Chain A
Amino acid sequence: MSIRTPLRPLARILDARNKGENPDAIERENLRLRHEDMRDKSRQRAEGRLLVLGLCFTVAFGTIGARMGFMANAEPAEPRSAAIGTPILAQRADIVDRNGRVLATNLITNALYAQPMQMIDPEHCADELVKIFPDLNRDRLIKDFTGTRKFLWIKKKLSPEQMQAVHDIGDPGLLFGPREMRLYPNGKLAAHILGGASFGREGVASAEVIGVAGVERAFDDYLRDPANADQPLQLSIDLTAQSTAREVLAGGMAIMGAKGATSILMDLHSGEVVSMVSLPDFDPNNRPRPLTAGHAADSPLFNRAVQGVYELGSTFKIFAAAQAMELGVAGPDTLIDTQPPFRWGKFSIGEFDGHSYGPTATLTKVIEVSSNVGTAHVAQMIGVERQQEFLKSLGFFEATPVELIEASTGKPLLPKNWSELSTLTISYGHGLSASPLHLATAYSSLLNGGTRVAPTLIKHSGPVEVGPRVVSQEVSALSRMMLRRVVTEGTASFGDVKGYSVAGKTGTADKPKENGGGYYDDKVIATFASVFPSNDPKYVLIVTLDEPQIMGAGQLRRTAGWTAVPVAAEIIHRVAPLLGLRPDIESASLDGVTLSASN
C-alpha cells in the first residue's frame, strides 16, 4: 500500500481534473488515509509498550510486597512492646573442674538502656537512677536524657533487685535488654586460669559473650560453638586442691610479707595442672583494668606461674646432677671438688653466705647442702653444648605450651651469648630465667621416670601418652633419692611431711635490679620445687615467693628453706589427703635404702 498510494491518487487527480471535478477532495482523502495508517501503527506500538509498562509495575509492586514479607518475617532488632519474652538460651559452654564442679557458667541478667525520646520525666529518672546506682553521674544523665541522643546504655548488668528498683521508677524510656553474663561462682579461685569474659557485640535482645583472658580466651571458639553448649570444658584443676593451695599460699605470703607468690601442683605423669595459684589475684566476675603504666607484673592480672620469668636459683642444681649421672661423668658417690672459691677468669664463684663445705663432697652431698662450687664443677664436666641440649629437652628454651592465652608471653630469658661461664652459673640457677611452670614441667619430666611431659590444663580422658625420654629410669630414681636427702638431711628440712615422703630442692635467688646492673642483696625469689611421695612419685609442687622474709631462730631469714619450704609443706600436708594419697605410716623402704647407700 505504501508503494502504491502515491501513484493512484495522481491518476485519480488527473482523472478528476479531466472531468472538471475538484482534486482537493481526493488530496484530503489521501491525507486522511495516511494519517489513519500512521495512527494505527503508533497504536500498535503503544499497545506493546503499555503492556511492558504494566509488567514493570507488577514486578515492582511484587518486589515491594516480597520485601515487606521478608522484613516482617525477620526478628526485630529492638524489641519494645511485643517481643519482651524473646528467649535467650545458654550458649557459652560451662567450664568445670576435673570432678565436674562448676568453675564458670552463665547467668541470665538484664542490661539497662534508655530511649530518651520516650522518657516522660528525665530529671526524675536521673534522680532515681543515681539512688540505685551511686556510681552514675546525675548531671551527665540529665544531659544525655534531654539531649538529641535517641539511645544509650546505662548499665551492662543488673541484679534482680536493681532491676526491680528501676522498674519501680516506672518511666517508659528506661528499658531492659535481656542477656547472659558469665558467672564465676568461686570468685577469685582460679582467677588466672579462667581469665574472664566480657561483652562483645551488644544488641538490645542479646549480647555476645567473649573470653578475654585465660582458658576463656584460649578456648573461645570451643566455648562459643553452639554445638558444645551441653559439653562443658573440663579442666584438670581440682577445685578443693586449688582452694586449699590458695588459702595456704595467701597465709604464707602474709606471714612472710611477700609481695607475690605462686604455686603449681602438677600430676607428674600426665603434666595435668591440678592447681595453679598466683597471688595477688582478682575476681574474674569484675576484672580490673590492665595497667597502662608501670610494670605489668604489678597488676593482679599478671599470672606469676606462667608469665613471670625468674632466676629460679638452686632448684636447677638437680638438672646438672641428673645429667652428669645420665652421661656417666659422675655417680651419686663420685667426689666433687667443692673448695671455694671457684675461679673462672676474673670471676669467682662462692657459696651462700661464704660457707664452705670442705675440699670435696659426693654428688649427693653437693645437692643436699646446695653447693654452688660443686655444681659448677659438674657443669664444667658436662660442657656448654650438652647442657643446652639437656635444658632444651626439658622445655627451657621456649614458652610453655599450656592452654592459656598468656602462656606465649612467658618466654624464658636465655643468655645472649652462652659462654662456659653461663653454663657454670646456669647450673645453679642464675643467668637463665624461666617461669615456675617451666620448672614444674622440667621436674615432672625428670622425676616421673624420665619421660617428657607437656603441661596442660585440660583433663586427660584416655591413658597418658609417654613422651620422649629425657633420662633413664635409674637416673630419675637416683635424682629423687638425692632430692629426698635434701629434705631429710639438707636445706629443706622443714619440708618433711610425715607419711608423704617429700623430696625437693630449695632455691633462693637474689632479685636482679630492674634497671640492670647487679642484684639486690635484700630481695630474693625463694622457690621450693618438690615431688611427693618420693618412692612412688605422683605430684610435683612448686612454691615460689617473691621477696619473702621472716624472723627465724633469732635472725631475719629470706632463704627458701625458711620461707617457701614451710609453705609447701603445709600445702602438701593439706592437699595430699584431698587428692586421695594414702599417707605411708610405716617408714618407706626407699628411705632405708638411700640412707644405707649414702653411709
Chain B
Amino acid sequence: MTEMVYGAIPKRDGEPVLPRWWRTIDKWSLSCILLLFGVGILLGLAASPPLAEKNGLPTFYYIQRQAFFGVMALIAMIATTMMDPKMVRRLAVVGFAITFVALLLLPFIGTDFGKGAVRWFSFGFASVQPSEFLKPAFVVVSAWLMSASQDLDGPPGKLYSFALALIIVMLLAMQPDFGQAALILFSWAVMYFVAGAPLTLLVSLAVGVVMFGTVAYNNSEHFARRIDGFLSAEVDPRTQIGYATNAIQEGGFFGVGVGEGQVKWSLPDAHTDFIIAVAAEEYGLVLVLAIIALYGTIVVRSLSRLMRERDPFIRLAGTGLACAFGVQAMINMGVAVRLLPAKGMTLPFVSYGGSSVIASGIAVGMLLAFTRNRPQGEIGDILIRRGR
C-alpha cells in the first residue's frame, strides 16, 4: 500500500510507440531517404519545367504534384515503419492479392498513355502502375514462403515462390515491361541466394551464362554487333544516351550551374529515366557522387543490420527489399553512364512519378520496419544451450 501512495510508477505495458520507434529505427537510412527525397525535389525544379512547358501547364505544376505525392509517400513510409513484422507481412499479403488481380486486369482496363505498353490504371487526376506496388508485396510474400520452407515439415516454399515469380514475370513481359520483370526475378534470386541456394547450382549457373554468352557472341552476328555497339567508346550524340553522356561531360565536377543545364530540353525522359544526367549537368559530379553514396549507404547499412537478424522471414524480406531498391537505382544510373543497355527504370524517390514514389515509400517503409532493432533472443539461446 505504501508503495502505491509514495510515488510508485504506474505500470505501463511496454514503451510508448513513438519513442520506441525512434529508438529502434535505423536513423542513418532514414536520413538518407529524406535527403534523397530532398534531392528529388531539387532536381524536379530543374528537370520538370520543360515538360510543363511542353504540355502547356504552369511552370511548377509537376513540382507541386511531386511534392504532394512525396508527402503522401513519406506518410505511407512512416506509417509502415511503425508496424511490426507480422503486421507488415499481413499488409503485404493483402496488398499482393490486390495488386496481382490488378495486374491481371491491366490488359482489359489499363491504358498505355500512348507509350505502347499497357502498364497503368488511369484515375483522371493520377495514374497508378500496379507493378510498382506488386514488387515489395511480392518480395515479402516470397520471403514468407521461403522462411516457411525452413521449418521442419514446412511447405516447399521456395518452389511456390519461384512459381509465383515466374507467373509475374510472364505477366510483366506481356505488357511488355522487361525492366520490372528483371527486377522481380532478381529480387527472388537474391532471396533464394540468402535462403541457402546450393553452391553447385550457383557455380553451374555462372558457368552456363558465361558459356552461353561466348557461344552467342561467336556465332550470332546480331548479338555480337549489339554487344560491340554497347562496348564501343563512340556514341551517337543524337540518341538519348548520347545526350546524357554529353550532359555528364558538360557538367564536369561542379556542374554548369543551377538552371543552366540544356539536356532537360532535349531529353524527353529527363525528369524520370535520365534525371541523373540532369543532376550531373547542373550540379556536377559532386551531387552525383552524393546520390550514389546515399543509395549505397541505405543498401549496405540495411544488409549489415540484417546480418544480425535471427528471424529468417525478416532477414529474407529485408534482403529482397533492400536489393530491389539498390538495383533499381543502380540500373537507372548504370544506363546513364552506359554501363548497362538502355532500360526504362526510375530512380527511386528522385525521379518524377506519383505511384512510383508512393510505392517506393511503402517498400522502404517495410524495409525500415524490418531493420528496426529488436531483441534477437541471444540470451534465450545461451540458456537453452546451457540447459542441455
Contact = CB atoms under 8 A, between A and B. Distances in A.
Interface of A: 31, 33-36, 38-39, 42-43, 45-47, 49-51, 53-54, 57-58, 60-61, 63-65, 67-69, 71-83, 117-118, 150-151
Contacts of B246: 76-78
B328 to A, nearest CB: 12
A69 B250 contact: no
Given A50-B303, A53-B323, A83-B250, A39 B312 contact: yes
B249 interface: yes
B248 A68 contact: yes
Contacts of A35: 151-152
B259 to A, nearest CB: 11
B300 A31 contact: no
Contacts of A39: 150, 310, 312
B310 A43 contact: yes
A65 B289 contact: yes
Interface in B337-355: 337-339
B79 interface: no
What does DSSP make chain A's interface, helix, strand, loop or mixed?
helix
21 contacts: A34-B152, A35-B151, A39-B310, A46-B195, A46-B196, A50-B303, A53-B303, A54-B304, A57-B300, A61-B326, A61-B330, A67-B339, A68-B289, A71-B245, A72-B288, A73-B252, A81-B260, A83-B250, A117-B266, A118-B266, A151-B238
A77 B299 CA distance: 35
A30 to B, nearest CB: 11
A54 B310 contact: no
A47 B307 contact: yes
Interface string B201-216: 0000000000000000
Contacts, number: 136
A61 B303 CA distance: 15
Contacts of B238: 150-151
Give chain B's interface residue range (CB within 8 Å of chain A). Answer: 35 or more
B252 to A, nearest CB: 5
Given A64-B333, A65-B289, A68-B289, A81 B253 contact: no
B333 A51 contact: no
Question: Which among A47, A61, A63, A76 has the greatest number of chain B C-beta atoms within 10 A?
Answer: A61
Interface in B282-324: 284-285, 288-289, 292-293, 295-296, 299-300, 303-304, 306-307, 310, 312, 315, 319, 323
A62 to B, nearest CB: 8
Interface of B: 150-152, 190, 193-196, 235, 237-238, 242, 245-246, 248-253, 256, 260, 262, 265-266, 280, 284-285, 288-289, 292-293, 295-296, 299-300, 303-304, 306-307, 310, 312, 315, 319, 323, 326, 330, 333-334, 337-339, 381, 384, 388
Contacts of A38: 150, 152
Contacts of B249: 71-72, 74-77
Contacts of B242: 77
Nearest to B265: A118
Given A46-B196, A64-B292, A64-B334, A76 B307 contact: no
A76 B152 contact: no
Nearest to B253: A72
Nearest to A204: B237
Contacts of B293: 61, 65
A33 B310 CA distance: 15
A151 B266 CA distance: 12
Nearest to B154: A35
Nearest to A54: B303
B237 A61 contact: no
A69 B285 contact: yes
Contacts of A75: 249
A145 to B, nearest CB: 15
Contact of B250 (A31, A67, A82, A150): A82
Contacts of B334: 64
Nearest to B202: A49
A72 B194 CA distance: 37
B267 to A, nearest CB: 10
B252 A72 contact: yes
A80 B262 contact: yes
B260 A42 contact: no
B348 to A, nearest CB: 14
B296 A53 contact: no
A76 to B, nearest CB: 4
A151 B338 CA distance: 22
Given A64-B337, A81-B260, A51 B292 contact: no
Given A43-B310, A64-B334, A77 B248 contact: no
Contacts of A64: 292, 330, 333-334, 337, 339
Contact of B196 (A42, A67, A151): A42
B296 to A, nearest CB: 4
Contacts of B253: 72-73
Contacts of A65: 288-289, 292-293
A61 B296 CA distance: 7
Nearest to B333: A64
A53 B250 contact: no
Contact of B337 (A34, A71, A118): A71
Contacts of B248: 68, 71-72
Contacts of A82: 250, 256, 260
Contacts of B265: 117-118
Contacts of A150: 238, 266
Contacts of A71: 245, 248-249, 337
Given A69-B285, A83-B250, A118-B266, A58 B323 contact: no
A80 B152 contact: no
Q: Closest 4 A-B residue pairs measured CB to CB?
A: A76-B249, A61-B296, A72-B285, A67-B337
B323 A46 contact: no
A23 to B, nearest CB: 18
A38 B356 CA distance: 39
Contacts of B151: 35
Given A68-B292, A71-B337, 13 more contacts: A42-B312, A43-B312, A50-B315, A53-B190, A57-B300, A58-B300, A61-B299, A65-B289, A77-B235, A77-B237, A118-B265, A118-B266, A151-B238
A53 B322 CA distance: 11
B194 A50 contact: yes
A312 B151 CA distance: 107
Contact of A72 (B193, B280, B306, B333): B280
Contact of A53 (B150, B194, B245, B310): B194
Contacts of B194: 46, 49-50, 53
B280 A68 contact: yes
B337 A68 contact: yes
B187 to A, nearest CB: 12
A472 B151 CA distance: 113
B286 to A, nearest CB: 10
A285 to B, nearest CB: 30
A332 B23 CA distance: 123
Contacts of B295: 61
Contacts of B339: 63-64, 67
Contacts of A58: 296, 300
Contacts of B338: 67
Nearest to B150: A42
Contacts of B284: 72
A64 B339 CA distance: 8
Contact of B251 (A50, A57, A72, A77): A72
Contacts of B245: 71, 77
B237 A151 contact: yes
Nearest to B266: A117
Contacts of A117: 265-266
A85 to B, nearest CB: 14
Contacts of B250: 76, 79-83
A369 B315 CA distance: 114
Nearest to B339: A67
Contacts of B323: 53, 57
B382 to A, nearest CB: 12
